[in-house]
């Protein structure tokens, strides 16, 4: 027994502290990474503001009833549910469990859920606060969302969305405006090129109508939306597995070969959808948007009519968007569309809306890969004052206070260790300048200013340092 206890206590498996880690699909961000993300968010916010959008925030979790049933079966499976706590656990539907009705049982265990996106909570927000808003209401929102998706490159379980939406108008001018916002944001962030793909849900409804499967539009569009991922053969196989007949698939196949300019594809689709009133209406709406963008022009974006773009979400009713960066192996970095019926889910009918979302984490990854962030963002400290001892530090603290009032990020090294160690700290922090004030310099009101990039060093007065701070930073 004693031998067993000793073995148990001395076995590394039991004595070793658990290695700290985070859940898959999440990330920590170091100070320089946070600085880069802040730069990205500030750039995005500035464009949103100039286009007249106002900020709002909503809770990180919603009632499960608010979210479930709004994203289709595939979306519902990706929603993180929050287990009831305390007395509410006693309300579990055991009868549903006995009947093997697992969805109903799960719902009784989790009355709340983490938000899947920002659009459905926004629809809830609009309905709940409709008497406090002025319509058309234009909002932007930058907050994290959560999806129980399989983590992979560019796909996370926790990520930040940057959304702009306008509700209370069906004007296609807002579609034009959102394309301009795509273009300005991504151009201002330095992306060298990107595709703004556009389609219209009415066009997809027309395709389903022409194929004789209007009642199965959702299943059809979910398959079509995967064309760029699984190819033509993969889409055909998925449609067969979903029970679509070979004759239906034959009617769809010509769409895969529709290539050329936007005008050429538009002409081909008008012939293909000639018998579908709703399909032709979708093409008319697209043409109006193309005409406006053609007149206004874009900075770096390329607007492309993608007739297979479907986006699997149930709530889009008009224009749908996806944006992809050129020359980068990454999925869509932005997306969105028009949703005429979303607020009706919460009791408010007749309120059309359109909005888009910027995938901040994917955009961040693209910018990192292409080295688009300004180099100065790697620096979290502008000035470091060397510590030569208590007497000198007392003098430095007064100057440090004045420097900080000028908006300069500065600090005094906490102890009078060897100069080499303090300079290494400055290099590791990517400090721009080091200030050295010994006893003799302090008596004269002078200091040594060292440029850490060039290695040059000069003697200047404390007053000159304050003047330079306004110039250098």
Rounded CA-CA distance 161/142 in Å is: 6
Pairing of strands 433-436, 446-451: antiparallel
Contacts of 43 (CB under 8 A, 6+ apart): 185, 188, 189
pLDDT at 16: 57
Phi/psi for 83 (5° steps) reads -65, 135
Cα–Cα distance, 114 to 389 (Å, whole number): 52
Please give the DSSP secondary-structure letter assigned to residue 333.
S
Write the pLDDT tens digit of every residue in 28-75: 999 999 999 999 999 999 999 999 999 999 999 999 999 988 887 778
- pLDDT number for residue 8: 37
User: CA angle 234-236-238, nearest 5°?
Assistant: 70
**Is a pLDDT exceeding 70 seen at residue 412?**
yes
- Per-residue pLDDT at 222: 83
- Could you read off the pLDDT of 269-309 as tens digits, one per residue? 999 999 999 999 999 999 999 999 999 999 999 999 999 89
| Distances from the Cα of 137 to the Cα of 54, 55, 92, 123, 172, angstroms | 9, 11, 40, 12, 15
Are the C-beta atoms of residues 411 and 431 closer than 8 Å to each other? no
Say if CB 163 and CB 156 are below 8 A apart. Answer: no
* Cα separation, 196 vs 207, whole angstroms: 22
Q: Give bridge partners of residue 425 from the DSSP assignment.
A: none
What local confidence, expressed as pLDDT, does residue 313 receive? 59
Which of the four pLDDT bands, split at 50, 70 and 90, describes residue 429?
Answer: very high
- Domains of the chain with bracketed CATH: 32-55+129-369 (3.30.930.10), 85-110 (no CATH), 379-472 (3.40.50.800)
For residues 63 and 111, the answer to whether their CB atoms sit within 8 Å is yes
Q: What distances in angstroms separate CA 334 from CA 185, 278, 315, one per listed residue?
A: 11, 26, 17
Task: Evaluate the CA torsion angle 61, 64, 70, 71 in order and state its sign.
Answer: positive
- pLDDT for res 470: 81
The residue that leads in pLDDT, 70 or 315, is 70
Classified as helix, coil or strand, 332 is: coil
Tokens of 264: 């050429």
With a CB cutoff of 8 Å and minimum separation 6, the contacts of 51 are 138, 164, 177, 180, 181
Q: Which helix (H) or strand (E) holds 120?
A: helix 119-128
| pLDDT band per the 50, 70, 90 thresholds, residue 4 | very low
Closest-CA residue to 425 (of 468, 466, 387): 387
Q: Which residue would you say has higher pLDDT here, 90 or 117?
A: 117
């Amino acid at each position: 027994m004693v031998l067993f206890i000793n073995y148990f206590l001395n076995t590394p498996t039991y004595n070793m502290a658990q290695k700290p880690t985070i859940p898959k699909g999440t990330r920590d961000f170091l100070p320089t990474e946070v600085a880069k993300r802040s730069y990205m968010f500030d750039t995005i916010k500035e464009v949103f503001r100039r286009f007249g959008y106002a900020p709002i925030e909503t809770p990180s979790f919603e009632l499960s009833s608010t979210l479930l049933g709004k994203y289709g079966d595939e979306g519902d499976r990706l929603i993180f549910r929050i287990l009831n706590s305390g007395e509410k656990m006693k309300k579990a539907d055991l009868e549903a469990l006995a009947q093997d009705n697992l969805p109903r049982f799960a719902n009784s265990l989790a009355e709340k859920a983490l938000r899947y996106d920002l659009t459905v909570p926004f629809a809830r927000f609009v309905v709940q606060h409709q008497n406090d808003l002025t319509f058309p209401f234009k909002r932007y929102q930058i907050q994290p969302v959560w999806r129980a998706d399989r983590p992979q490159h560019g796909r996370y379980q926790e990520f930040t969305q940057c959304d702009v939406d306008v509700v209370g108008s069906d004007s296609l001018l807002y579609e034009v405006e959102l394309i301009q916002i795509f273009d300005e944001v991504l151009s201002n962030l330095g992306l060298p090129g990107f595709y703004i793909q556009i389609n219209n849900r009415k066009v997809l409804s027309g395709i389903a109508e022409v194929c004789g499967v209007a009642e199965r539009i959702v299943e059809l569009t979910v398959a079509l939306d995967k064309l760029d991922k699984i190819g033509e053969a993969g889409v055909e196989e998925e449609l067969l597995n979903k029970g679509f007949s070979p004759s239906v698939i034959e009617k769809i196949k010509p769409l895969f070969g529709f290539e050329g300019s936007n005008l050429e594809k538009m002409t081909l689709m008008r012939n293909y959808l000639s018998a579908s009133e709703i399909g032709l209406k979708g093409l008319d709406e697209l043409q109006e948007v193309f005409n406006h963008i053609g007149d206004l022009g874009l900075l770096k974006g390329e607007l492309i009519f993608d007739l297979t773009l479907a986006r699997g979400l149930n709530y889009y009713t008009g224009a749908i968007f996806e944006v992809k960066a050129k020359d980068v192996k990454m999925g869509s970095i932005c997306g969105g569309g028009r949703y005429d019926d979303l607020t009706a889910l919460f009791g408010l009918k007749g309120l059309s809306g359109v909005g888009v979302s910027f995938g901040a984490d994917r955009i961040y990854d693209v910018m990192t890969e292409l080295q688009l962030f300004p180099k100065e963002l790697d620096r979290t400290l502008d000035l470091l004052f060397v510590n030569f001892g208590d007497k000198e530090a007392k003098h430095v603290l007064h100057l440090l206070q004045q420097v900080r009032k000028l908006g300069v990020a500065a600090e005094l090294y906490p102890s009078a260790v060897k100069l080499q160690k303090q300079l290494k700290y400055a290099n590791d922090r990517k400090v721009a300048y080091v200030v050295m004030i010994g006893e003799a310099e302090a008596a004269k009101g002078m200091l040594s200013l060292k440029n850490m990039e060039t290695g040059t060093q000069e003697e200047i007065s404390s007053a000159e340092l304050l003047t330079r701070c306004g110039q250098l930073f």
